[in-house]
Structure 1
Amino acid sequence: MKTTSKTWSAVAVSVAMVAMALPAQANSWRGWNIHPPGYPNTVALEAFAEAVTERTEERLKVQVYNNGVLGDQPDAIEQTRSGALDFANFNMGPMGPIVKETNVLSLPFIFSSIEHMHEVMDGEIGQQFADALAEKNLIALSWFDSGARSLYNTERPISTPDDVRGLKIRVMNNDLYVDMIEALGGNATPMAYGEVYQSLTTGVLDGAENNYPSFESSNHYEVAEYYSLTEHLIIPECLCIAKASWEALSPEDQEIVRDEAIKASTMQRELWVEGSRASHQKVVDAGVQINEVEDKAAFQERMDPVYAGFIQANPELESLVEAIRSSN
């Protein structure tokens, strides 16, 4: 039988409806994941689920629901906070409205590199974010990678901040990202991710910003031939457990779940590096012009008003911002 995209959509909807209709069982854990099969996060989450199920001798039977079939991230955050879902992989970008401390992680150039982000999030500062999440009923056991986001566009390479001037750039729906592009002289356009390809094609947008795997898998490289390594945003993700689900575990099983969450993080980071290299090669082979940005300090200096505005609005977070910036 020929399988169509409509068939797969119907299957996904059916899976979501059944999963949400089933009553939660004491030893049955459901996990949310927005990514498709084969994605680094998905592979790591499924390994986590299998290992926890095996090591607890099925005291916990853990299953991951991929492709966002249990809802979008805001819905999944609320479901996990309430205990309707047991665990999830969340990006910290959309977490800000619920856990304001995580907005710090969306400040441009807050991390100098991906390695710097790992060091911060795996250490004492990362524990401060975990503590803030715990206050909202989310237990962050480990931190995943989501790469570095850079600018790409249809017009020209971006080597200096002035190269952004006048470009219509899609950003995620967050005032910090709007302020970031406007500080560079561009026109920030918050837009749903699924609308970006067509908007680049028609000229509604000149560009957007994202990491290599997303630039490649979205096919944006087909219409935006210039990719410039600004690496302005490095936003971590968590493997988060519902507080109610976590507290229902025995100390022994908590130790197993924590251990496997850390192993999943290590696996995800390694797979992310491999996937990024493959995506980079694919877009290079397709003719995309990739340029290093030699003077990132010039971009960082343009962010001073963004930081000043953020601190003015959130003075209680200034020490956290400074702790990260001075940790490198």
Structure 2
Amino acid sequence: MRLNRFICAATFGFLAATTTTVNADTWRFGLEEIEGSVQHSYAERFKALVKEKSDGEIDVQLLPYGKWGSSYSALYDAIQGGAIQLGFGSGALGGTVPESQLLNLNYIMPSDQWVTAQGLNSDTFLKSKAWQESFRKRSLVPLAELPEGYQVWTTNKAINTPDDIENLGIRVMDNSLLRATYKAYGASPTSIAYGELYSALQQGQAEGNIQPVFAHEEMAFYEVQDYMIFA
């Protein structure tokens, strides 16, 4: 089973507020992940392009995780209200834009992430009336879909067969479709804030975790988890 994390930052969405003032000298850009992450790399490149194309008149202020708060919903609220002009929206966006959960379904993405990104950024998907309207009626504008890599699991026990996931207390993003999915697999999914996840795994409040490989590394989850499973 290969689980693509689309708009669940393998992929995440690049969002803007409908109230964004494009001629402002500074654009605030909210990231769901920490400095040095894949999202941060994308954001740094975006900042450089904006500076180049605006002849230095526009500065993009990057706000990594923790700079705007710890609840993803707080970031989305800030973008909706225009306090933050741009941001990334992952699987946690499902509580704000339920239709975005479509991209959390397992098995629907091509194996090639470049092909996936091209398809999701096409006129038939990203610019379709239905997709745009699902965001715009909530004061958001979807600008692009960006790949981060396959999701993998970490646990403190080996997962070799579907039976091994039975009743596993695995952390998923705050997303009703993801909770239903892993419950259907037989696990016991739970939602824990990203910044609290390390200590939750350390203390046994969760037995497993779902992230792209780089997130397991940058957040040092490997220090409190014994196995990495490419499902």
TM-score if structure 1 supplies the norm length? 0.55
> Residues 154 and 31 from structure 1, CA distance in 2 versus in 1: closer, same or farther, beyond 3 angstroms?
same
- Counterpart among 47, 52, 55 of residue 53 in structure 2: 55
Give the residue type in structure 2 aligned to 1:119.
Q
Report how far residue 122 of structure 1 moved.
Answer: 1.9
Report if aligned partners of 2:94, 2:175 keep a CA contact under 8 Å in 1.
Answer: no
Q: Deviations over 1:62-81 (max 9, x none)?
A: 32233341334322222222
Paired residue type of 2:92: P
Higher helix share: 1
Aligned to 1:301: none
1:271 is matched with: none
Give, as a single letter, the amino acid of the residue that structure 2 aligns with 1:28. T
Cα distance in 2 for partners of 1:33, 1:85 equals 10
Q: In 2 relative to 1, CA 78–114 (structure 1 residues): closer, same or farther, beyond 3 Å?
A: farther
Partner of 1:126: 126
| Structure 1 residues 162 and 112: alpha-carbon distance in aligned structure 2, compared to 1, 3 A threshold | farther
Aligned to 2:214: 213
Determine the C-alpha separation between the residues in 2 that align with 1:196 and 1:216: 13
Q: Is 2:148 the partner of 1:146?
A: yes
SS in 1 for 2:160: coil
Give, as a single letter, the amino acid of the residue that structure 2 aligns with 1:152: T
Partner of 1:79: 78
Residues 223 and 81 of structure 1, relative CA distance in 2, 3 Å threshold: closer
Alignment check: 8 A CA contact 1:46 1:63 kept: no
SS of corresponding position for 2:145: strand
Q: Could you list the runs of 5+ residues in structure 2 that have no partner in the other structure?
A: 1-21
Q: Which residue of 1 aligns with 2:226?
A: 225
Task: Give yes or no for contact 2:174–2:191 (8 Å, CA) kept in 1.
Answer: yes
Which residue of 27, 33, 56 maps to 1:29? Answer: 27
3-state SS of paired residue (1:30): strand
What does residue 256 of structure 1 align with? none
TM-score by length of 2: 0.75
Q: Once the two structures are superposed, what CA deviation does each residue of 1:191-227 show, in whole Å capped at 9, x if it has no partner?
A: 2334433443444432222111111222222232222
Distance 1:70 1:201, change over 3 A: closer
Q: Secondary structure at the match of 2:43?
A: helix
Matched to 1:70, the amino acid is W
Cα distance, 1:25 vs. partner?
8.0
Give the Cα separation in 2 of the matches to 1:31 and 1:195.
23
Deviates more, 1:142-151 or 1:109-118: 109-118
Distance 1:185 1:64 in 2: 39
Report % sequence identity. 26
Deviation at 1:44, TM superposition (A): 2.5
Q: Distance in 2 between matches of 1:175 and 1:136?
A: 18
Q: Deviations over 1:286-308 (max 9, x none)?
A: xxxxxxxxxxxxxxxxxxxxxxx
Partner of 1:88: 87
Q: Structure 1 regions of 5+ residues with no counterpart?
A: 1-23, 231-328
Matches within 5 A, 1:1-328: 26-71=24-69, 72-91=71-90, 93-113=91-111, 115=113, 116-123=115-122, 124-128=124-128, 129-156=131-158, 158-230=159-231
CA RMSD in angstroms, aligned pairs only: 2.6
Higher relative CO (CA 8 A, sep ≥ 6), structure 1 or 2? 2
Which of the two has higher C-alpha Rg? 1
Alpha carbons of structure 1 residues 59 and 176: separation in structure 2 relative to 1, 3 Å: same
Q: Is the 8 A contact 2:38 2:148 kept in 1?
A: no
Conserved? CA contact 2:92–2:173, under 8 Å: no
CA contact (8 A) 2:30 2:62 kept: yes
Counterpart CA distance in 2 for 1:202 and 1:45 is: 33
Q: Secondary structure at the match of 1:227?
A: strand
2: CA distance between counterparts of 1:87 and 1:63?
A: 10
Contact 2:201 2:225 survives alignment (8 Å): yes
User: Residues 202 and 140 (structure 1 numbering): CA distance in 2 closer, same or farther, change over 3 Å?
Assistant: closer
Are the aligned partners of 1:121 and 1:127 in contact in 2 as well (CA < 8 Å)?
Answer: no
Deviation, 1:107, is 2.1
Residue 197 and residue 213 in structure 1: after superposition, are their counterparts in 2 closer, same or farther (change >3 A)? same
Distance 1:215 1:83, change over 3 A: same
